[in-house]
Structure formats: C-alpha cells, structure tokens
C-alpha cells in the first residue's frame, strides 16, 4: 500500500504547486494531445492537477482520477464542482460517479477510480489513456516502479513537482545541514512502492528509464518559493523537515534538531522565514 496524504495538507500546498509547475512543459503536453484527450491522473488526491492543467489544455477533455484514498477522491469531486460554480460554469452529473463541467472551452468529464498505485501499471486503469499524469508522486516510487511504467506506456507521461534535493531555509541556521541530512534520509525511505524511494534522484531516474524505452524526455525546474508572507506554509515545512530529521537520525542529535525547529517555527510565525524547495517537472513523449 502506497503512502497516504492528508487532504488539508493537499489544500495548503495547492497554490504553491500551481505557481511552481512549469508552464512550458504543460503547453508541450497540450500540443501533443488529441482534440478530446483522456488523461489518467495517478495519485490525484483532491484533483489539484486537473484544476491547474485542464484550463491550459483549453478543450473538451476526460479525466480519470486515480488514488488509493476514496475520501480524497470524494473531496476532489466536491472541490472541482465548487470551483466550477465560482467560475460561473454549469455542472451536471450523468451518473453518480461522473461529473461534467461545462466550460466555455468545452466539457470536462471527470471520473474516479480507487486503486493502489504501488501495484504498478498492469493493475491501474490506463487503458484508453492519451496521457498519464501526476503531481508530487514520482519521488515516492521505486526505481523498479518507474521502469515498469516506462515499459508499459505508449502515450505521454507527465510528472510534475518531483523533489530534486535543493531545499533551503532563509535566514541560514547552524543546524540547517544536519536537518537537511536527516530529511534526505527520510526521502529515501520505502514509501510502499516496492523498494527504496527515488527521492531527489526521481527526475534523473525517470529521464533515463523513459529514454531507454524510446521516449523523448524534457525537464524543467519547478521550485516552491515560500515567502515570509506565507507563515503557515513556512511553519508547516519547518515542522515537517524537523520531524523527518528526528525520525531518521540518531537520538543524540535530537536536541539540536528540536532547537532548530523551535527557532524556525518562531521565525515563521513572526513572518521572518523563507523556504525554497527544489522540484523538477518531466514530460516524456513516445518517440
């Protein structure tokens, strides 16, 4: 079973994801898709990638949201419909499990499937897809999972926001390197995808695997830039990095890590903490 995520965390990160994703690669994906594409979103969560990418595709389209968490998928439908209504668009439900969003550029058909992503491509609803897409997924998976996916697909594969190991907190602190080392160890931890997670090697590993399978691969930076004027996100990142370091490093280092967390969280609440989290987006297109 792959690692699960909290819906409130996904809601908090959504605007940062939206600002970070590389628009150039998204437009490249749009250019190779058919007039009414079917996209399968792996690890779709609350549907944030659809809300960002669908307007860029700018046409009628069909989405299959795939996640192991049925509650997140239910929240995805509710949030997609809410945003559509706020935009002044009509929504209809031809079936209990199918939402139609009627936009000026065409109809978005949204469906969902619960599935364990760790099972690999053979067990996922990929049949009939014109592209397989994801956000913040592929740094969690194993090398074997990526190789299986590259070998199974004959359609574009788009993976946004894969960590690349370039995290920085500002201003600097003497324990930054210690916490970063612990956080990096946590990124390597098996996240339920049949082996050690790729972590910051995800962009390079995916590029190699898809090129070996005959795909043309493009990558582009997509860092989170968390300013001091967003204290809740800065505080959440400081807390998360600290707890990951505490879990990954020897107990003797805990006092320094906890002191780092106290300083960083206090800075965040005073709107004095900035964070840069490095990501890389990837698009693989069959050659």
| pLDDT-above-70 percentage for the chain | 98
Mean per-residue pLDDT for 251-280?
Answer: 98
The per-residue pLDDT for 1 is 44
User: Taking the domains of the chain in order of start, what are their residue ranges?
Assistant: 7-165+192-224+279-286
Residues listed for the chain = 287
| Buried residues in 166-204 as b, exposed as e (16+ CB within 10 A) | ebebbeebebbebbbebbbebbeeebbbbeebbbbbbbe
Rg (CA), the chain: 19
| Buried residues in 215-230 as b, exposed as e (16+ CB within 10 A) | bebbbbebbbebeeeb
Distance from C-alpha of 221 to C-alpha of 175, rounded to nearest angstrom: 27
pTM across the whole model: 0.95
Span 128-171, pLDDT tens digits: 999 999 999 999 999 999 999 999 999 999 999 999 999 999 99
Q: Report yes or no: 273 and 169 within 8 Å, Cβ to Cβ.
A: yes
The per-residue pLDDT for 184 is 93
Q: Report yes or no: 108 and 162 within 8 Å, Cβ to Cβ.
A: no
CATH number among 1.10.20.60, 3.30.300.30, 3.30.70.260, 3.40.50.150, domain 7-165+192-224+279-286: 3.40.50.150
The per-residue pLDDT for 47 is 97
Mean per-residue pLDDT for 122-129?
Answer: 95
Span 89-121, pLDDT tens digits: 999 999 999 999 999 999 999 999 999 999 999
Distance from C-alpha of 39 to C-alpha of 255, rounded to nearest angstrom: 47
Span 166-204, pLDDT tens digits: 999 999 999 999 999 999 999 999 999 989 999 999 999
Model confidence at 7, in pLDDT bands (50, 70, 90)? confident
Model confidence at 28, in pLDDT bands (50, 70, 90)? very high
The per-residue pLDDT for 5 is 66
* Three-state DSSP state, 5: coil
Mean per-residue pLDDT for 263-279?
Answer: 98
Span 46-88, pLDDT tens digits: 999 999 999 999 999 999 999 999 999 999 999 999 999 999 9
Span 38-54, pLDDT tens digits: 999 999 999 999 999 99
Distance from C-alpha of 276 to C-alpha of 176, rounded to nearest angstrom: 13
The per-residue pLDDT for 111 is 98
What are the beta bridge partners of residue 282? 159, 219
Residue 63 CA: distances (Å) to CA of 92, 163, 186:
15, 25, 32
């Amino acid at each position: 079973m792959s690692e699960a995520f909290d819906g409130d965390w996904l809601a908090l990160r959504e605007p940062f994801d939206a600002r970070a994703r590389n628009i150039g690669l998204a437009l490249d994906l749009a250019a190779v898709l058919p007039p009414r594409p079917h996209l399968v979103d792996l690890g779709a969560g609350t549907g944030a990638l659809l809300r960002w990418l669908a307007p860029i595709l700018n046409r009628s389209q069909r989405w299959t949201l795939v996640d192991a968490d049925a509650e997140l998928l239910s929240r995805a439908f509710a949030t997609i419909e809410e945003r559509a209504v706020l935009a002044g668009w009509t929504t209809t439900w031809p079936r209990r499990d199918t939402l139609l969003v009627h936009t000026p550029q065409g109809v978005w058909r949204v469906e969902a499937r619960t599935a364990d992503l760790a099972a690999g491509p053979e067990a996922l609803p990929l049949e009939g897809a014109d592209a397989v897409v994801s956000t913040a997924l592929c740094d969690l998976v194993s090398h074997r999972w990526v190789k299986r996916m590259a070998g199974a697909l004959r359609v574009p594969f788009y993976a946004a926001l894969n960590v690349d190991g370039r995290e920085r907190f500002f201003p600097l602190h003497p324990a930054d390197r210690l916490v970063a080392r612990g956080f990096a160890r946590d990124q390597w931890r098996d996240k339920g995808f049949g082996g050690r997670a790729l972590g910051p090697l995800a962009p390079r590993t995916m590029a190699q695997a898809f090129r070996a399978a005959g795909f043309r691969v493009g990558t582009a930076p997509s860092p989170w830039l968390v300013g001091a004027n967003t204290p809740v996100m800065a505080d959440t990142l400081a807390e998360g990095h600290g707890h990951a370091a505490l879990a990954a490093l020897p107990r003797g280092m805990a006092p320094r890590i906890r002191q780092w967390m106290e300083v960083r969280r206090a800075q965040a609440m005073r709107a004095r903490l900035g964070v840069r989290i490095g990501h890389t987006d990837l698009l693989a297109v069959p050659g």
